[in-house]
Structure 1
Amino acid sequence: MNRKEKKTAKQKQYTRQLINTQDVTGHSLLTFRGDELVYFIIKPTNISVLSEANISARIYSLMTVLKGMAELEFLCLNSRESFEDNKLFLKSRLEQENNPAVRRLLEHDLNHLDRIQVQMATAREFLVVIRLKSEKENEVFPYLNRIEKTLREQGFSASRAEREDIKRMLAIYFEQNVTTERFEDFDGERWIILNE
């Protein structure tokens, strides 16, 4: 395929194909590559209030988990909006602006975004990802239960992500959207009126 044909083919792809998400099940995300991704949500620990010995113990616990299960992947996401692009835009506008009144407004906006970001500084979400490829149906849930049990035994507050958790994670990752209460299964779902 030449460059123009590739561009046309890419434009015809559905959003789900572009982000490699075939479906969200009750407990996993199915990809077009044939993977089934299961997520475990780990509640973060505020290590700034822990002693050095406790921090070392947490690191050792994580090392123990990693030694026992090499197939684990880790993901760290913001669980709130990120204003970095907005702040970069305001900074570039500030450099270009000559009007003192507009400069003050831009500075106020930048300070406001900084205050919001400081308030949400600890808003992180840690996820453990398991890729299921060739596991048999009857072996999947015992395998996942064992992983969850291991995480909890090592002192991590872990729970398996459900359908709504996965949809929320995708919305935050791709849209930076944390204000929506219920995430749609497909675009425009909220506008469909049944029996009309």
Structure 2
Amino acid sequence: MSKKKQKEQQKQSTRKLIGIEDITDYSLQTAFGELVYFIIHPTNISVLSDANVNARIYALMTVLKGIAEIEMLCLNSKENFDENKQYLKKQMEEETNPVIRKLLQQDSSNLDRMQVQMATAREFLIIIRLRKEEEKVGNDKSSDIFPYLSRIEKSLKDQGFTARRANNADIKRLLGVYYEQNVTTEKYEDYDGERWVIIGE
């Protein structure tokens, strides 16, 4: 890679590098279309009867048949403690004090317990890719899109799914999980250090 290209890449924002043009209040705008996310809360099918599982499958099939532009995504929102456990194991092998070794063992067991509890921390998303339309004046575009998105949300709820449309904060969190497995950040900033800026002073 030439030095000129490297300098150009360094000037690009993170959003540009991963192909994001903008994050609106209801969508993610990319070069390949505008993406709207619907977050579906998972159902624990291990406690359902075969008939109920079949009913859930049929309900999902009904939703998929009714929406042509639909895409699906499953995110793994659990934290990975493998490196922490390897570090604790190494410390236990090197530690000569039995009390400290026991404490390290308890820490390792606690991480195992946490990982088991988070094993089902999955997020299921229905994605609607809005077609690129010619620029419209005023609120015409919004008046077309929002009723369409509301119909999709209603269709999901009518089929028994607990779903809601992702907002700006949800989309940032989903990107954090997707790109860096970050499940601990509570609020994502648009710019590094944004929370420290005091406007008007």
* Global fold match (TM > 0.5): yes
Contact 1:87/1:110, CA 8 A, preserved across alignment: no
**Matched letter for residue 50 of structure 2:** E
* Equivalences, count: 191
**Pairing partner for 1:174 from 137, 159, 179:** 179
Structure number, greater radius of gyration: 2
Separation in structure 2 between the aligned mates of residue 173 and residue 57 of structure 1, nearest angstrom: 30
Deviation at 1:140, TM superposition (A): 1.3
Separation in structure 2 between the aligned mates of residue 11 and residue 173 of structure 1, nearest angstrom: 22
Relative to structure 2, which stretch is displaced further, 106-115 or 157-166?
106-115
1:193 alignment partner in structure 2: 198
Alignment of 1:98-137 (within 5 A): 99=94, 101=96, 108-135=106-133, 137=141
1:17 alignment partner in structure 2: 16
Question: Are 1:36 and 2:31 matched, yes or no?
Answer: no
Relative to structure 2, which stretch is displaced further, 36-45 or 88-97?
88-97
Deviation at 1:34, TM superposition (A): 5.2
Separation in structure 2 between the aligned mates of residue 140 and residue 17 of structure 1, nearest angstrom: 25
1:56 alignment partner in structure 2: 54
**Matched letter for residue 45 of structure 1:** T
Contact 1:42/1:157, CA 8 A, preserved across alignment: yes
Overall identity of the aligned pairs, in %: 58
Alignment of 1:51-90 (within 5 A): 51-79=49-77, 81-83=78-80, 86-88=81-83, 90=85
Deviation at 1:106, TM superposition (A): 6.5
**Pairing partner for 1:148 from 153, 157, 176:** 153
**Matched letter for residue 169 of structure 2:** E
Question: Are 1:164 and 2:169 matched, yes or no?
Answer: yes
SS of match in other structure, 1:165: helix
Deviation at 1:72, TM superposition (A): 0.8
SS of match in other structure, 2:155: helix
Contact 1:94/1:103, CA 8 A, preserved across alignment: no
2:25 alignment partner in structure 1: 26
Deviation at 1:189, TM superposition (A): 0.4
Check 1:180–1:67 CA distance in 2 against 1; reply closer, same or farther (3 A cut): same
Contact 1:40/1:159, CA 8 A, preserved across alignment: yes
Give the structure-2-normalised TM-score.
0.79
Separation in structure 1 between the aligned mates of residue 70 and residue 181 of structure 2, nearest angstrom: 25
Deviation at 1:108, TM superposition (A): 4.9
Extract unaligned runs of 5+ from structure 2: 135-140
Separation in structure 2 between the aligned mates of residue 57 and residue 75 of structure 1, nearest angstrom: 21
Separation in structure 2 between the aligned mates of residue 92 and residue 187 of structure 1, nearest angstrom: 30
Extract unaligned runs of 5+ from structure 1: none
Check 1:10–1:94 CA distance in 2 against 1; reply closer, same or farther (3 A cut): farther
Provide Cα deviations, 1:47-97, integer angstroms capped at 9, x if missing partner: 111001111111111122222223211111133x421xx405744885899
Give the structure-1-normalised TM-score.
0.80
Deviation at 1:37, TM superposition (A): 1.0
